[in-house]
Structure 1
C-alpha cells in the first residue's frame, strides 16, 4: 500500500486536462483540412487527381472526410495552395453528409439527438466490433482506457458482451466474412441502442473502397448515429465526439 502511495506522489497527476483545458497536438498531426475556395482550378484538379481515395470533388471544392485517409498528398501540391491540414481534432459528425466539407464542420453537440443525451448522459457502455480492420483504429481506441485519457471518468466504458452494451463502436471496412457477426452483435444489444462508425474504413471503405470483398459503408447495413473520421481517428477525436454527442 505504501509503495502505491509513494509511486502516486512521485509521478503526480498524469491524466489529460482535456476537456477542461484546451489541448494542442503536434504540428505533424493532420486534422480538419482548411480549404482555399479561391484556389486556381488547375491546382484543385491536380489535388483531386492525386487523392488515392477520390475524396476531393474538384468542381465543388470539397473534401469527403468519410473517405479521406489524411495522407497529406493534396497538401503537398503547390505548398498547400488548395488544402492545408490544421491541428483541429474535433471532427465528429451526426450525419454522413456533414463530413463532406468545404470549411468548418457543424457543431456536433447541437446535432446530437436529445433522447441519447437523456438516456446515456450519465453512463454509456459500448461494445467494440473490429469488422476486418488493420487494428490501427482499435489501438487508438484502446488508448482511451489508459490513465492518461481515463475514459471511465466520463462514465463511458467498453464492455465484453453486447447484451451489457448501449451500442456498438464499429471499426474496419466490414468484410463480407464479418457481416453476419456484426449484425448478430447489433441484434444482441438491447434497444434503444446507438451505432458509431469509427474511421474511414467503417464510414466508406477507406483504402479498400470499391473492393467486392467488403461492405465498406456501415450505414448501408445498420443506421449510424455518430461518425468519427480519421485513419485512424486520433484518441482525442474519438473522445471529443463521444462527449459532444452523448454528454
Structure 2
C-alpha cells in the first residue's frame, strides 16, 4: 500500500485539464484545412487530380472533410499554395453538408439539438460498433478511456450492451457483412437515441468509397446526428464534438 501511495505521489496528476485549458498537439498533426481562395485555379485543379479520395472540389475551392483522410498530398503542391493544415481539431458537425468545407465550419454548440443536451448532458452512454474498420478509429476512441483524457469524468461512457446505451458510435465503412448486425444493434437501443458517424469510412466509405462491398456512408441506412471526420479522428476531435454537442457545460 505504501508503495502504491509513493508511486502516486511521484507520478502526480496526469489527467489533461482540457477543456478548461487549451492543449497543444504535435506539430505534424493535420487538423482543419486552411484554404487559400486566391490560389491559381491550375494549382487547385492539380491538387484535385492527385487527391486519392476525390475530396477536393476544385471549382468551388472546397474540401469534403467527410472524404478527406488528411494525407497531406494537397499541401505538398506548390508549397501549400491552395491548402495548409492547421492544428484545429474541432471538426465535428451535425450535418453531412457542413463537412464540404471552404476552410470554416459552423460552431457545433450553436447548431446542436438542444433537446439532446437536456437528455444526455449529464450522462451519455454509447455503444461502439466497428462496422468493418481497420481498427485505427477504434484505437483512438479507446484512448479516451486512459487517465490522460478520462472520458468518464464528463459523464460519457462506452457500454457493452446496446440495451444500456443512449446511442451508437459507428466506425468503419459498414461492410455488407456488418450491415445486418449494425441495424440490429441500432434497433436494440431504447428511444430516444442518437447516431454518431466517426471517421472518413463511416461518413463516406473512406479509402473504400468506390467499393460495392460497403454502404458508402452511414447516413444511407441510419439517421446520423453527429459527424466526426478524420482518418482516424484525433481523440480530441471526438472529445470536443461530444462535449459541444451533448453536454450543457463543456
* Structure-2-length-normalised TM-score: 0.98
Deviation at 1:2, TM superposition (A): 2.5
**Map of 2:178 onto structure 1:** 178
**Map of 2:78 onto structure 1:** 78
Matches within 5 A, 1:45-84: 45-84=45-84
Q: Which runs of 5+ in 2 are unaligned?
A: none
Distance 2:236 2:86 in 1: 15
Deviation per residue, 1:195-245 (Å, 9 max, x gap):
000000000000000100001210000000000000000000000000000
**Map of 2:43 onto structure 1:** 43
Distance 1:214 1:95 in 2: 21
Deviation at 1:104, TM superposition (A): 1.4
Distance 1:146 1:204 in 2: 29
Deviation at 1:3, TM superposition (A): 2.5
Distance 2:82 2:194 in 1: 36
Distance 1:75 1:209 in 2: 22
Deviation at 1:149, TM superposition (A): 0.4
| Superposition misfits of 4+ residues, deviation over 2 angstroms | 1-4
Matches within 5 A, 1:1-247: 1-247=1-247
Deviation at 1:17, TM superposition (A): 1.2
Distance 2:3 2:181 in 1: 45
Deviation at 1:27, TM superposition (A): 1.0
Distance 1:161 1:4 in 2: 33
* Structure-1-length-normalised TM-score: 0.99
Q: Which runs of 5+ in 1 are unaligned?
A: none
